[in-house]
Amino acid sequence: MSKLFSPITLRGETFNNRAVVSPMCQYACDAEDGVMGDWHLMNMGQYAMGAAGLIFTEATGVSAQGRISKLCTGLWNDEQEASMKRVVDFCHKYGVAKLGIQLGHAGRKASTRPPGEGGTPLTAEEGAWQTVAPSALPYAPDWHVPQELDHAGLAQVKQEFADATVRAARAGFDVVEMHGGHGYLLSQFFSPLSNQRTDEYGGSVENRIRFPLEVFDAMRAVWPEDKPLGIRISAVDWVEGGSTVEDTIVYAKALQDRGCDFIDITTAGVDPRQKITVGKAYQVPMAAAVKAAIDIPVMAVGMLNDPHLAESVIAEGKADFVMLARGVMYDPRWAWHAAFELGADADYPPQFARCKPQAWPEAFGLTREPRVTTDQRS
Protein backbone atom coordinates (compact mmCIF):
# COMPACT_ATOMS: atom_id res chain seq x y z
CA MET A 1 0.00 0.00 0.00
CA SER A 2 1.37 3.40 -0.98
CA LYS A 3 1.65 5.89 1.87
CA LEU A 4 1.74 8.76 -0.62
CA PHE A 5 -1.65 7.68 -1.98
CA SER A 6 -3.30 7.08 1.37
CA PRO A 7 -6.00 9.51 2.54
CA ILE A 8 -5.59 12.03 5.34
CA THR A 9 -8.18 14.20 7.07
CA LEU A 10 -7.66 17.72 8.43
CA ARG A 11 -10.72 18.97 10.32
CA GLY A 12 -13.66 18.43 7.94
CA GLU A 13 -11.60 17.96 4.77
CA THR A 14 -10.31 14.59 3.57
CA PHE A 15 -7.54 14.52 0.98
CA ASN A 16 -7.32 11.39 -1.16
CA ASN A 17 -3.53 11.56 -1.42
CA ARG A 18 -0.60 13.39 0.17
CA ALA A 19 0.61 15.27 -2.93
CA VAL A 20 0.17 19.05 -2.95
CA VAL A 21 0.65 21.62 -5.70
CA SER A 22 2.71 24.33 -4.06
CA PRO A 23 1.78 28.01 -4.47
CA MET A 24 3.54 29.36 -7.58
CA CYS A 25 3.50 33.03 -8.49
CA GLN A 26 2.20 33.59 -12.03
CA TYR A 27 2.46 37.37 -12.53
CA ALA A 28 -0.36 36.96 -15.01
CA CYS A 29 -3.18 39.35 -14.14
CA ASP A 30 -4.40 40.96 -17.36
CA ALA A 31 -4.47 44.39 -15.72
CA GLU A 32 -2.95 45.90 -12.62
CA ASP A 33 -6.04 45.01 -10.61
CA GLY A 34 -5.23 41.70 -8.91
CA VAL A 35 -8.11 39.97 -10.71
CA MET A 36 -7.80 36.35 -11.82
CA GLY A 37 -8.41 35.84 -15.53
CA ASP A 38 -8.42 33.07 -18.11
CA TRP A 39 -4.79 32.19 -17.44
CA HIS A 40 -5.58 31.41 -13.82
CA LEU A 41 -8.64 29.35 -14.79
CA MET A 42 -6.51 27.31 -17.19
CA ASN A 43 -3.56 26.99 -14.81
CA MET A 44 -5.52 25.93 -11.74
CA GLY A 45 -7.89 23.87 -13.85
CA GLN A 46 -5.12 21.76 -15.37
CA TYR A 47 -3.74 20.92 -11.93
CA ALA A 48 -7.19 20.12 -10.56
CA MET A 49 -7.56 17.32 -13.12
CA GLY A 50 -4.81 15.13 -11.68
CA ALA A 51 -1.69 16.85 -10.42
CA ALA A 52 -2.31 16.28 -6.70
CA GLY A 53 -4.92 15.92 -3.97
CA LEU A 54 -4.62 19.58 -2.92
CA ILE A 55 -3.69 22.54 -5.10
CA PHE A 56 -2.84 26.04 -3.93
CA THR A 57 -3.24 29.35 -5.70
CA GLU A 58 -0.24 31.57 -6.10
CA ALA A 59 0.65 33.90 -3.24
CA THR A 60 -2.30 36.29 -3.11
CA GLY A 61 -1.91 39.78 -1.72
CA VAL A 62 -4.17 40.84 1.13
CA SER A 63 -3.78 44.46 0.04
CA ALA A 64 -2.52 46.49 -2.89
CA GLN A 65 0.52 47.46 -0.83
CA GLY A 66 1.21 43.81 -0.08
CA ARG A 67 1.51 42.66 -3.70
CA ILE A 68 4.90 41.51 -4.95
CA SER A 69 4.23 43.12 -8.32
CA LYS A 70 1.43 44.91 -10.16
CA LEU A 71 0.53 41.66 -11.94
CA CYS A 72 -0.02 39.55 -8.81
CA THR A 73 -3.43 38.38 -7.70
CA GLY A 74 -5.14 40.01 -4.75
CA LEU A 75 -8.12 39.44 -2.48
CA TRP A 76 -9.17 42.77 -1.04
CA ASN A 77 -12.21 43.69 -3.17
CA ASP A 78 -15.38 42.20 -4.63
CA GLU A 79 -14.11 41.93 -8.20
CA GLN A 80 -11.10 39.88 -7.10
CA GLU A 81 -13.31 37.68 -4.94
CA ALA A 82 -15.69 37.02 -7.84
CA SER A 83 -12.83 36.13 -10.17
CA MET A 84 -11.50 33.62 -7.65
CA LYS A 85 -14.93 32.10 -7.10
CA ARG A 86 -15.13 31.50 -10.85
CA VAL A 87 -11.87 29.53 -10.73
CA VAL A 88 -12.77 27.65 -7.55
CA ASP A 89 -16.21 26.68 -8.84
CA PHE A 90 -14.72 25.42 -12.11
CA CYS A 91 -12.09 23.31 -10.33
CA HIS A 92 -14.61 21.88 -7.88
CA LYS A 93 -17.05 21.00 -10.67
CA TYR A 94 -14.62 19.33 -13.03
CA GLY A 95 -11.52 18.48 -10.98
CA VAL A 96 -10.57 15.90 -8.38
CA ALA A 97 -8.55 18.08 -5.98
CA LYS A 98 -9.22 20.22 -2.95
CA LEU A 99 -8.57 23.94 -3.43
CA GLY A 100 -6.33 26.05 -1.22
CA ILE A 101 -5.36 29.71 -1.25
CA GLN A 102 -2.13 31.17 0.06
CA LEU A 103 -2.61 34.64 1.55
CA GLY A 104 0.40 36.88 1.97
CA HIS A 105 1.93 40.32 2.20
CA ALA A 106 5.27 40.98 0.52
CA GLY A 107 6.46 43.61 2.99
CA ARG A 108 9.82 45.05 1.95
CA LYS A 109 9.92 42.72 -1.09
CA ALA A 110 6.85 44.38 -2.63
CA SER A 111 6.74 46.94 -5.44
CA THR A 112 8.92 45.01 -7.89
CA ARG A 113 8.94 44.08 -11.54
CA PRO A 114 7.96 40.49 -12.38
CA PRO A 115 10.90 38.04 -12.50
CA GLY A 116 10.67 37.97 -16.31
CA GLU A 117 11.49 41.66 -16.25
CA GLY A 118 14.31 41.28 -13.74
CA GLY A 119 12.42 41.14 -10.46
CA THR A 120 14.04 44.40 -9.39
CA PRO A 121 12.34 47.28 -7.53
CA LEU A 122 10.02 49.55 -9.48
CA THR A 123 11.08 53.14 -10.04
CA ALA A 124 8.88 56.10 -9.19
CA GLU A 125 8.18 56.53 -12.91
CA GLU A 126 6.97 52.92 -13.05
CA GLY A 127 4.54 53.45 -10.18
CA ALA A 128 6.55 52.25 -7.19
CA TRP A 129 4.69 52.34 -3.89
CA GLN A 130 5.79 52.67 -0.28
CA THR A 131 6.74 49.32 1.19
CA VAL A 132 6.50 48.35 4.86
CA ALA A 133 8.44 45.99 7.11
CA PRO A 134 9.16 45.22 10.75
CA SER A 135 12.25 47.47 10.52
CA ALA A 136 13.31 50.18 8.08
CA LEU A 137 15.88 47.91 6.45
CA PRO A 138 15.88 47.36 2.66
CA TYR A 139 16.08 43.84 1.24
CA ALA A 140 19.31 44.79 -0.54
CA PRO A 141 21.33 48.00 -0.87
CA ASP A 142 19.61 49.05 -4.11
CA TRP A 143 16.07 48.30 -2.92
CA HIS A 144 13.37 50.56 -1.51
CA VAL A 145 13.75 51.52 2.14
CA PRO A 146 10.55 50.24 3.80
CA GLN A 147 8.58 52.12 6.40
CA GLU A 148 8.72 50.48 9.82
CA LEU A 149 5.25 49.38 10.84
CA ASP A 150 3.92 51.14 13.93
CA HIS A 151 1.16 49.67 16.07
CA ALA A 152 -1.55 51.20 13.88
CA GLY A 153 0.11 49.72 10.81
CA LEU A 154 0.35 46.31 12.45
CA ALA A 155 -3.35 46.42 13.29
CA GLN A 156 -4.19 47.36 9.71
CA VAL A 157 -2.17 44.49 8.22
CA LYS A 158 -3.73 42.04 10.68
CA GLN A 159 -7.19 43.20 9.65
CA GLU A 160 -6.29 42.85 5.97
CA PHE A 161 -5.34 39.21 6.50
CA ALA A 162 -8.59 38.57 8.37
CA ASP A 163 -10.70 40.32 5.70
CA ALA A 164 -9.04 38.32 2.91
CA THR A 165 -9.71 35.12 4.87
CA VAL A 166 -13.42 35.96 5.01
CA ARG A 167 -13.40 36.51 1.26
CA ALA A 168 -11.57 33.19 0.74
CA ALA A 169 -14.36 31.40 2.61
CA ARG A 170 -17.03 33.07 0.49
CA ALA A 171 -15.13 32.16 -2.69
CA GLY A 172 -15.34 28.49 -1.69
CA PHE A 173 -11.75 27.54 -0.89
CA ASP A 174 -11.27 24.37 1.16
CA VAL A 175 -7.97 25.37 2.77
CA VAL A 176 -6.13 28.60 3.62
CA GLU A 177 -2.39 28.92 4.07
CA MET A 178 -0.84 31.98 5.70
CA HIS A 179 2.37 32.89 3.88
CA GLY A 180 5.10 33.15 6.49
CA GLY A 181 7.98 32.21 4.22
CA HIS A 182 10.32 33.30 1.44
CA GLY A 183 11.28 36.60 3.01
CA TYR A 184 7.87 38.24 2.75
CA LEU A 185 6.36 40.31 5.56
CA LEU A 186 5.59 37.63 8.16
CA SER A 187 8.91 35.94 7.39
CA GLN A 188 10.60 39.32 7.89
CA PHE A 189 9.20 39.45 11.42
CA PHE A 190 10.47 35.93 12.16
CA SER A 191 14.04 36.48 10.94
CA PRO A 192 16.51 38.39 13.14
CA LEU A 193 18.18 39.59 9.93
CA SER A 194 15.17 41.71 8.93
CA ASN A 195 13.56 42.27 12.34
CA GLN A 196 15.64 44.57 14.52
CA ARG A 197 12.79 46.08 16.52
CA THR A 198 13.25 46.93 20.17
CA ASP A 199 9.59 46.65 21.18
CA GLU A 200 7.54 43.55 22.02
CA TYR A 201 7.74 42.40 18.38
CA GLY A 202 11.53 42.17 18.18
CA GLY A 203 14.50 40.54 19.89
CA SER A 204 13.84 37.02 21.18
CA VAL A 205 12.26 34.39 18.97
CA GLU A 206 9.16 34.58 21.16
CA ASN A 207 8.89 38.29 20.36
CA ARG A 208 9.69 37.87 16.66
CA ILE A 209 6.84 35.38 16.20
CA ARG A 210 4.37 37.50 18.18
CA PHE A 211 2.96 39.39 15.20
CA PRO A 212 2.67 36.36 12.87
CA LEU A 213 0.85 34.54 15.66
CA GLU A 214 -1.53 37.47 16.10
CA VAL A 215 -2.23 37.37 12.36
CA PHE A 216 -2.84 33.63 12.54
CA ASP A 217 -5.28 34.09 15.44
CA ALA A 218 -7.16 36.76 13.49
CA MET A 219 -7.46 34.46 10.49
CA ARG A 220 -8.50 31.42 12.53
CA ALA A 221 -11.22 33.47 14.23
CA VAL A 222 -12.98 34.15 10.91
CA TRP A 223 -12.17 30.97 8.96
CA PRO A 224 -14.82 28.19 9.15
CA GLU A 225 -14.22 25.85 12.07
CA ASP A 226 -14.47 22.75 9.87
CA LYS A 227 -11.84 23.92 7.38
CA PRO A 228 -8.05 23.65 7.79
CA LEU A 229 -5.79 26.66 8.22
CA GLY A 230 -2.02 26.33 8.03
CA ILE A 231 1.16 28.30 7.45
CA ARG A 232 4.26 28.27 5.30
CA ILE A 233 7.47 28.98 7.23
CA SER A 234 11.01 29.54 5.97
CA ALA A 235 12.71 27.37 8.57
CA VAL A 236 16.24 28.63 7.97
CA ASP A 237 17.61 31.71 6.23
CA TRP A 238 20.84 30.08 4.96
CA VAL A 239 22.68 33.16 6.24
CA GLU A 240 24.79 33.34 9.39
CA GLY A 241 22.81 34.98 12.17
CA GLY A 242 19.47 34.18 10.57
CA SER A 243 16.58 32.01 11.69
CA THR A 244 17.28 28.41 12.67
CA VAL A 245 15.42 25.12 12.84
CA GLU A 246 15.39 25.52 16.63
CA ASP A 247 13.62 28.87 16.23
CA THR A 248 11.16 27.24 13.83
CA ILE A 249 10.32 24.52 16.33
CA VAL A 250 9.46 27.19 18.93
CA TYR A 251 7.26 28.83 16.28
CA ALA A 252 5.64 25.53 15.28
CA LYS A 253 4.77 24.60 18.86
CA ALA A 254 3.12 27.98 19.40
CA LEU A 255 1.10 27.52 16.21
CA GLN A 256 0.03 24.04 17.29
CA ASP A 257 -1.27 25.49 20.55
CA ARG A 258 -3.39 27.94 18.52
CA GLY A 259 -5.11 25.31 16.41
CA CYS A 260 -2.89 25.35 13.33
CA ASP A 261 -3.72 22.38 11.11
CA PHE A 262 -0.51 22.01 9.11
CA ILE A 263 2.91 23.59 8.72
CA ASP A 264 4.53 23.85 5.30
CA ILE A 265 8.31 23.94 5.73
CA THR A 266 10.38 25.77 3.16
CA THR A 267 13.56 27.84 3.55
CA ALA A 268 15.30 31.08 2.56
CA GLY A 269 14.17 34.24 0.83
CA VAL A 270 14.81 36.87 3.47
CA ASP A 271 18.36 37.88 2.52
CA PRO A 272 20.13 37.93 -0.88
CA ARG A 273 23.35 36.73 0.79
CA GLN A 274 21.83 33.28 1.28
CA LYS A 275 23.97 30.33 0.25
CA ILE A 276 21.78 27.30 -0.37
CA THR A 277 22.93 23.76 -0.99
CA VAL A 278 20.38 22.62 -3.56
CA GLY A 279 19.58 19.03 -4.49
CA LYS A 280 16.81 16.46 -4.40
CA ALA A 281 14.88 16.62 -1.11
CA TYR A 282 17.28 19.31 0.15
CA GLN A 283 14.67 20.89 2.42
CA VAL A 284 13.22 17.66 3.80
CA PRO A 285 15.60 17.46 6.82
CA MET A 286 14.14 20.72 8.14
CA ALA A 287 10.60 19.41 7.70
CA ALA A 288 11.54 16.16 9.43
CA ALA A 289 13.04 18.02 12.40
CA VAL A 290 9.87 20.07 12.83
CA LYS A 291 7.63 17.03 12.43
CA ALA A 292 9.55 15.20 15.17
CA ALA A 293 8.82 18.06 17.57
CA ILE A 294 5.08 18.62 17.02
CA ASP A 295 1.85 16.66 16.68
CA ILE A 296 0.31 18.28 13.60
CA PRO A 297 0.92 17.44 9.93
CA VAL A 298 3.95 18.83 8.13
CA MET A 299 4.39 19.48 4.42
CA ALA A 300 7.81 19.08 2.79
CA VAL A 301 9.08 20.78 -0.35
CA GLY A 302 12.18 20.77 -2.53
CA MET A 303 12.69 18.73 -5.70
CA LEU A 304 10.42 15.84 -4.70
CA ASN A 305 9.14 15.08 -8.20
CA ASP A 306 10.50 11.51 -8.25
CA PRO A 307 7.53 9.35 -7.14
CA HIS A 308 9.70 6.89 -5.21
CA LEU A 309 11.45 9.72 -3.38
CA ALA A 310 8.11 11.34 -2.57
CA GLU A 311 6.82 7.98 -1.32
CA SER A 312 9.85 7.49 0.92
CA VAL A 313 9.41 10.92 2.53
CA ILE A 314 5.91 9.94 3.64
CA ALA A 315 6.65 6.27 4.39
CA GLU A 316 9.67 7.12 6.55
CA GLY A 317 7.68 9.63 8.57
CA LYS A 318 9.67 12.69 7.51
CA ALA A 319 6.53 14.57 6.47
CA ASP A 320 2.81 14.04 6.01
CA PHE A 321 2.51 15.74 2.60
CA VAL A 322 4.92 16.41 -0.25
CA MET A 323 4.63 19.61 -2.25
CA LEU A 324 5.59 20.05 -5.88
CA ALA A 325 5.99 23.20 -7.96
CA ARG A 326 8.13 22.88 -11.07
CA GLY A 327 7.48 19.13 -11.00
CA VAL A 328 3.81 19.68 -11.77
CA MET A 329 4.51 22.51 -14.19
CA TYR A 330 6.46 19.91 -16.15
CA ASP A 331 3.84 17.21 -15.59
CA PRO A 332 0.33 18.50 -14.73
CA ARG A 333 -0.86 14.89 -14.34
CA TRP A 334 1.87 14.05 -11.83
CA ALA A 335 -0.40 12.18 -9.42
CA TRP A 336 -1.68 9.89 -12.18
CA HIS A 337 1.82 8.97 -13.27
CA ALA A 338 3.18 8.67 -9.73
CA ALA A 339 0.35 6.33 -8.77
CA PHE A 340 1.03 4.12 -11.77
CA GLU A 341 4.74 4.05 -10.91
CA LEU A 342 3.98 3.07 -7.31
CA GLY A 343 1.26 0.55 -8.11
CA ALA A 344 -1.32 2.75 -6.42
CA ASP A 345 -4.57 4.37 -7.47
CA ALA A 346 -5.25 8.04 -8.24
CA ASP A 347 -8.43 9.98 -8.89
CA TYR A 348 -9.49 10.77 -12.48
CA PRO A 349 -12.34 13.03 -13.60
CA PRO A 350 -15.08 10.98 -15.29
CA GLN A 351 -14.27 12.57 -18.64
CA PHE A 352 -10.73 11.15 -18.42
CA ALA A 353 -11.52 7.76 -16.86
CA ARG A 354 -10.90 5.84 -20.07
CA CYS A 355 -7.25 6.95 -20.19
CA LYS A 356 -6.52 5.32 -16.84
CA PRO A 357 -3.94 2.54 -17.46
CA GLN A 358 -6.31 -0.11 -16.14
CA ALA A 359 -8.86 0.91 -18.78
CA TRP A 360 -6.47 0.13 -21.67
CA PRO A 361 -3.86 -2.13 -20.08
CA GLU A 362 -2.34 -3.35 -23.34
CA ALA A 363 -0.85 0.11 -23.90
CA PHE A 364 0.99 -0.17 -20.59
CA GLY A 365 2.00 -3.82 -20.77
CA LEU A 366 -0.57 -4.80 -18.18
CA THR A 367 -2.70 -7.92 -18.13
CA ARG A 368 -6.37 -7.25 -18.72
CA GLU A 369 -8.69 -8.81 -16.18
CA PRO A 370 -11.13 -11.24 -17.82
CA ARG A 371 -14.51 -9.70 -18.52
CA VAL A 372 -17.29 -11.38 -16.63
CA THR A 373 -20.51 -12.05 -18.54
CA THR A 374 -23.92 -12.90 -17.13
CA ASP A 375 -23.49 -16.53 -18.20
CA GLN A 376 -20.13 -16.83 -16.44
CA ARG A 377 -21.56 -15.49 -13.22
CA SER A 378 -24.35 -18.02 -13.30
Catalytic residues: 184
| CA–CA gap between residue 202 and residue 194 (Å, rounded) | 10
Closest listed residue to residue 201, CA positions, set 185, 193, 190: 190
What's the CA gap between 102 and 86, in Å, rounded?
17
Burial (CB < 10 A; 0-12, 13-18, 19+), residue 132, is buried
Angstrom distances, CA of residue 352 to CA of 7, 16, 38, 95, 272? 22, 18, 22, 10, 44
> Residue 376 is inside which H or E element, if any?
helix 374-377
DSSP, collapsed to helix, strand or coil, labels residue 284 as: helix
Backbone angles phi, psi at 132, to 5 degrees: -130, 160
Nearest CA among 213, 178, 187, 4 for reference residue 104:
178
Residue pair 173/100 in contact by the 8 Å Cβ criterion: yes
From CA 293, how far away is CA 105, in angstroms rounded? 28
> Cα dist. 371→91, 187, 366, 376 in Å?
34, 57, 15, 9
